[in-house]
Chains A and B, each alone.
Chain A
Amino acid sequence: MWTWFHKLASPPHFYRIAGLTIPAFSWAAGLLVAAGLYGGLVLAPPDYQQGEGFRIFYVHVPSAILSMFVYATMAIAAAIGLIWRMKLAHAVAAASAPIGAWFTACALATGSIWGKPMWGTWWVGDARLTSELILLFLYLGYLGLRSSFDDLQRADRASAVLAVIGIVNLPVIHYSVVWWNSIHQGSTLLTPGAMPIAMKWPALCMLAGFALFYGAVLFVRLRGEVVRRERSAAWLREVLVK
C-alpha cells in the first residue's frame, strides 16, 4: 500500500492522475451546480416566512459546510504528514488552506447579507457566527505561519501543528446552535424531515457541486505543490518538458 502512495506522490504519476480527476470533477461540479441553481432559484417554492430572500440559503449553506469540511481535510492531512512524514499529505494541507479560507469568507459574507433583511442586523456576536469567524482567522493564521518560513519542510511541519490544534473549533461551530441560544437557526439540511424535498434536493446538489469544485481546484493546486516538494531533478525535468 505504501508503494502505491509513494508512486502517487511522484510528479509524472501524479500529473497523470490529476489529468483525469481535474476534468472529471470539474464537469461533475458544473452540472451539479447548474442543477442546484435551477432547482433553487426557479423550481423551489419561496419560503413561508422569508419569501424569495430565503434563496440565499442555496449558496450560504454549501459554503459554510465546505468551510468546515475543507478544514477537517486540511487538519487530517496535516496530522498524516506529521506522523508519517508524507510530503503528499503536507501538500494536500497547503493546497486546501486558501480554498477553505475563501469558502469561510463566503459563508460569513452571505450570512451577513442574509441577516440584514431577515434579522435586521449585519452581525451579531453569537456562538455560531463568532466560531465561524474564528475559523477564518485560523485559516489566515495558518497561511501566515506558512509564508513566514523560508524552508518548505519546516513550514509544512509547523503549520501542520497549528492546523491540528485548530480542529477543536469545528465541533464548536457545529454544535454551537445546540449548546447556546443562538440567533442562527438550528440544523435543517441534515435533519430528516426538517425541510421539504423541493428545497432539499437543490441544496444537496449545490453542496455536492461545491465539494467536487473543491476537489478539482485542490488537484490543480496539488500539481504545483508536488512539484515544489520534489527533490529529484530527473522527475522534474520529465514534468517540465510537457
Chain B
Amino acid sequence: MTARPGLWRVGMAVYARDLRLAFRRWEQAVQPVVFLLMVATLFPLALSPEAAQLRGVAAGVLWVAALLASLLALEFLFRADHEDGSLEQLVLSGHPLGWLSIFKVLAHWTISGLPLVLVSPVVATSLAVPASALAVVMLSLLLGTGVLSFVGGAAAALTLGVKRGGVLVSVLTLPLVMPALIFGAQAADLAIMGESARGPLLLLLALLVLSVSLAPLAIAAALRIGVE
C-alpha cells in the first residue's frame, strides 16, 4: 500500500484537474465573460450614452452584471463531477472534504470569477467610469466574486442532483450574497465619485473571510447528503 498523499498534493491535483477540464471546454468557460460584456453594452443602449448618467449607475450595473454572470457559471461547479461519479470518489476518498472543497471552489473562481475581474476595467470604461476608480472597482469585484464562488458553491452543493436546479441555485445564493453586493457596489460608487472606499472594502474583505471559513463546512455537509 502506498503512503497516502498529503492534503496539499490532493488539493492541488483537484485544482489542476478542474482547470484542465475547463480549458478543454473553453467555450463554456468563457460564457460568463461574454455575458458580462453583453450586459454592459445593453445599459448604455437602454439608458443613454451620456457619460454623466452612465457614471451614476455604473457601479450598480457592473456589480449586478458580474453577479449574474457568476451565477451562470455556478451550475458547472459540481454537476459534471456528480454525473460521472468522480464527486462520489472525492467524498469517499477519506480526505477532509471541507479542505478539498476549498480547492474546488478556488478552481471554479479561477475559471469564472477571475476573468470577470480582469475584463472589468474594459467594461467599466465603457460605462464612463474614470480611470482613477478602476483599481477600486477591480478590487471590489475581486473580493466579491470570491464571496460569490464560496457561497454559491454551498448552494450548488445543496442542489446536487436536483433536476433543473439552475434557478434554484440562484434563488439560494442571492439572499446570502446581498450584503457583498451592497458593500461592493458602495465601494465602487465611492471610488467613482472620487472618495475613499476603505470602509466598504474592509467590510467586503470581512465577508470574504467569513465565507471562506464557513462555506466549506456547509459544502462538505451538503456533498455528503447529496452523494448518499
Asked if A and B form a direct contact in the complex, defined as CB atoms under 8 angstroms apart, the reply is: yes
Q: Which residue of B lies closest to A142 (CB)?
A: B172
Q: Which residues of A contact B171 (CB under 8 A)?
A: 137, 140-141, 144
The main secondary structure of chain B at its interface with chain A is helix
Inter-subunit contact B168/A172 (CB<8 Å): no
Q: Which residues of B contact A113 (CB under 8 A)?
A: none
Over the window 48-89 of chain B, the binary record of Cβ atoms lying under 8 Å from chain A Cβ atoms (1 yes, 0 no) is 000000000000000000000000000000000000000000
The 3 closest A-B pairs by CB, nearest first: A137-B175, A134-B175, A141-B172
The CA of A162 and the CA of B225, in the complex, are separated in Å by: 12
Chain B residues at the A interface, C-beta cutoff of 8 Å: 154, 158-159, 162-163, 165, 168, 171-172, 174-176, 178-179, 182, 210, 214, 218, 221-222, 225-226, 228
A157 within 8 A of B: yes
Q: Which residues of B contact A137 (CB under 8 A)?
A: 171, 174-175
Inter-subunit contact B226/A158 (CB<8 Å): yes
Inter-subunit contact B222/A148 (CB<8 Å): no
Inter-subunit contact B225/A161 (CB<8 Å): yes
A30 within 8 A of B: no
Chain A residues at the B interface, C-beta cutoff of 8 Å: 82, 130, 134, 137-138, 140-141, 144-145, 148-149, 154, 157-158, 161-162, 164-166, 168-169, 172
Q: Which residues of B contact A138 (CB under 8 A)?
A: 175-176
Q: Which residues of B contact A149 (CB under 8 A)?
A: 162
CB distance from B71 to the nearest CB of A (A): 14
Inter-subunit contact B158/A162 (CB<8 Å): yes
CB distance from B113 to the nearest CB of A (A): 20
Given contacts A138-B176, A145-B168, A154-B225, 13 further A-B contacts (CB under 8 A): A140-B171, A145-B158, A145-B159, A145-B172, A148-B163, A148-B168, A158-B222, A158-B225, A161-B222, A161-B225, A166-B175, A166-B176, A168-B210
